[in-house]
């Protein structure tokens, strides 16, 4: 399961809003606050870039599916036409799930067929997708 941005932020809120018992003060509380701070930083990056990366990724997957439809089945065209209902992360993720499912199926067919050029193109797309969704960790103090 991939937690949604709203779930992470709600968890951060609850972790800070509920008073901690006395026995969890000191090092435990310091570690807890550090984890909440790190999650908040990553959540901020996701909020800033999340929609943009998903819109790009959905279009990139759709392009690969369209390109492969003549060889691997016209049903890929219907999936490639998948669009999000709006630009919310939830809607973009729903469209992305359908597109990724088809991409994985295409990749399996490509591997079975020994279609090396298309296999390489799909692997390159996976790398680009990971780069687009990258979240950057700050330098952390040694501890």
Residue 138, in any domain of the structure = no
Does residue 55 have a pLDDT over 90? yes
Instruction: Give Cα 8 distance to the centre of its chain.
Output: 14
Domain of residue 106: give its range: 5-132
Question: Phi and psi (nearest 5°) for 25?
Answer: -80, -175
Residue 125, in any domain of the structure = yes
pLDDT at 105: 98
C-alpha to C-alpha distances, 10 to 48, 49, 123, nearest whole angstrom: 18, 19, 35
> Which pTM value belongs to this model?
0.83
Residue 139, in any domain of the structure = no
- The pLDDT of 79-107, averaged and rounded, is 95
The pLDDT tens digits for 8-39 are 999 989 988 888 788 878 888 888 888 899 99
State how many domains the chain has. 1
Does residue 119 have a pLDDT over 90? yes
Residue 119, in any domain of the structure = yes
């Amino acid at each position: 399961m991939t937690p949604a941005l709203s779930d992470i932020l709600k968890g951060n809120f609850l972790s800070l809003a509920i008073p901690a018992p006395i026995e969890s003060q000191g090092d435990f509380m310091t570690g807890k606050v550090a984890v909440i701070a790190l999650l908040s930083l990553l959540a901020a990056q996701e909020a800033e870039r999340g929609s943009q990366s998903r819109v790009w990724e959905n279009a990139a997957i759709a392009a690969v599916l369209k390109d492969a439809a003549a060889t691997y089945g016209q049903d890929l065209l219907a999936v490639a036409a998948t669009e999000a209902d709006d630009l919310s992360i939830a809607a973009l993720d729903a469209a992305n799930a359908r597109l990724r499912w088809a991409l994985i199926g295409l990749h399996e067919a490509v591997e079975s067929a020994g279609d090396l050029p298309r296999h390489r193109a799909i692997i390159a797309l996976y790398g680009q997708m990971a780069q687009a969704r990258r979240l950057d960790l700050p330098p952390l103090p040694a501890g």
